[in-house]
Structure 1
């Protein structure tokens, strides 16, 4: 059987499966249901806070909170974000060069664009001035500033949002430089996925090669979800004529193609992308970011709707299956640096909720 026929059969099977899944879940694609489910997940999470409010975990969560605010338009959501900012004194985390401590600033900037309150972005401007004036100390693993792939969600959108808001391209140019370094170090052009860090690159001098149980490379679902989320949030800010915009779009499209190829039958992705048999059911945070990114790609004309909509619909059905009886997002892998198996239906994290909220904010925009 030739390759073209196999491809056509795969498309037919995927389309048939998706139609069958959607037929039994029509309600979850209705705008009212999406808003209600987002609100329930958000309300539960706000009642169950975790981590310091400037932490990267909450950086991802509040990115979703702002997306929920734009989707639902609730003054209560704005109040929750404002209280977070006031508690943080609108400051990033304390580590000058660490992208994790810049993630929360994405929300500060988004809020500033609504309210115009300069206090929301002044501390980050001061931090960036110091960042650019202070050399970064490298090491064996941290050979570059953004040496782990998750950093591409944390830092870039904050840098680019600030540059666009202030009409100052020095922040965009800095992002270009740091992203390119990460791409060169961690992007695997065979699989079109990012290694989490150099500990997970094969044939890296001085690094012991790590493999999954099936002998394949280790590509962490959430890590690559962070990257796709970062690509979305970066591309959406860049002007159409920005010199490096095509680089980000091409990287996004390459990853999207691979991610859809390894989507599982339930619409979700496993904690380890290339060894799904060794891990439990679908993992919420990685799957949420993939659903968000793919839906955004369709909504913005970057991904072909006929090709990618079935995958998004499957993912949204799968994600809704992770919602627990009290409304919270379950099946979320705890904090870690690689695929883990230590999570179950009731397992939750704030970034899992953030990913779900981001996904809902784009699924609701689809011409379904």
Structure 2
């Protein structure tokens, strides 16, 4: 190869690197983030899935409300009001099941803007019945009310949002009690991660392991927890007596999660056995990006340590969004790591996680 050809290749490579760097930097601009959030939201509106009160849409509309706050889109506001009206502003039908309370987070957020009692009255009545009715324990899998880690995104933020809105600590105290039960049952104090449910704890007679011998920690399940912690901490007063309990868990999990981010910027369906689950998983990765960015923005996480993690993750997440706004690489509904999804796989909660991530990335002081 003569020197002119070599020089040409070097120039070409330099321009390619610069173009890639410029494109990636653009993904952090306010204009770009608002545009991609709108595109993802509106694609999902055109492709609805599940009952509107379902937990899947609870996560999606949590993201939609965050996108509304970010963009000010009147179209998003109208869609949320339409959803609430369609649900008659009610929780799902299962009284004690946290999944059926997740949608109420958005009801309360809308109430704070519209001050319309019909938006929260059904949930107040549900909570009255909830507190008056003992949880029907089903051993061994369901020994407590919130017996699976995903519940910590679904239930606690709804309870605490209601309590803060009404100025009534009984809802916060109930959330504390139920959250602590889940923590005691499922939190691994060595790994600083949550087992999905009691089946995945290593103190059982029959121990479930990944193929590499590691414990099974589901990415989305732990993403639910970190996202739920953010939504709790955003609500709890700075001087709340149990706030430090949640902050400690958040920081422990953030440290662990940042250390197991994969080279492409994403997290795999199984956190401790990434090689068995190729392909970054959007819903878990989206919630981690949301949580870590929020932690930086609110002074709980060291910016120098965590900003590179968030930047890498946000760039990677944007690579999973189709030109039409569809958010791909989302693991289907489940309860454990699976290799059952592709770049074309989507779910409403994956879009919700992406929107939540964008709502905090846009606030980063880089």
Q: Indicate the TM-score class for this superposition, using the shorter chain for normalisation.
A: over 0.9
SS at match of 2:27: helix
What CA distance in whole angstroms lies between the structure 2 residues aligned with 1:261 and 1:304?
14
| Alpha-carbon shift at residue 209 of structure 1 (Å) | 1.1
Total equivalences in the alignment: 348
The partner residue of 1:215 within 213, 216, 225 is 213
Deviation at 1:325, TM superposition (A): 2.7
Matches within 5 A, 1:180-199: 180-199=180-199
Measured against aligned partners, the alpha-carbon deviations of 1:45-103 in whole angstroms (never above 9, x if no partner) come to 00000000000000000000000000000111000000000000000000000000000
Alignment match, 1:26: 25
Alpha-carbon distance between aligned partners in 1 of 2:85 and 2:168, rounded to the nearest angstrom: 26
2:170 pairs with 1:170: yes
Verify: 1:107 aligned to 2:96, yes or no.
no
Q: After TM superposition, give the deviation of residue 204 of structure 1 in Å.
A: 2.0
Deviations 1:205-228 (A, max 9, x none): 5xx211111010000000000000
Q: Which has the larger radius of gyration?
A: 2
Which residue pairs with 2:62 in the alignment?
A: 63
Q: Is contact 1:324-1:346 (8 Å) kept?
A: no
- DSSP-derived class of the 1:25 partner: helix
| Aligned-partner Cα distance in 2 for 1:20–1:257 | 32
- Structure 2, unpaired ranges of 5+: 1-17
Cα distance, 1:187–1:351 mapped onto 2, change above 3 Å: same
- Name the SS of the counterpart of 1:219 in structure 2: coil
Is the contact between residue 195 and residue 220 of structure 1 (CA under 8 Å) also seen in structure 2? yes
Q: Is the 8 A contact 1:21 1:317 kept in 2?
A: no
User: Following the alignment from structure 2 to structure 1, what is the Cα–Cα distance between the partners of residues 22 and 191?
Assistant: 33
Unaligned runs of 5+ in 1: 1-18
Rate the CA distance shift 1:191–1:21 in 2: closer, same or farther, 3 A. farther
Q: Distance in 1 between matches of 2:326 and 2:112?
A: 29
**1:192-341 equivalence runs, <5 A:** 192-205=192-205, 208-341=206-339
TM-score, with length taken from structure 2: 0.94
Task: Specify whether residues 97 and 22 from structure 1 end up closer, same or farther in structure 2 by C-alpha distance, changes over 3 A only.
Answer: farther
Structure 1 stretches of at least 4 aligned residues deviating more than 2 Å after TM superposition: 19-24
- Write the deviation string for residues 146-194 of structure 1: whole angstroms up to 9, x where unpaired: 0000000000000000000000000000000000000000000110000
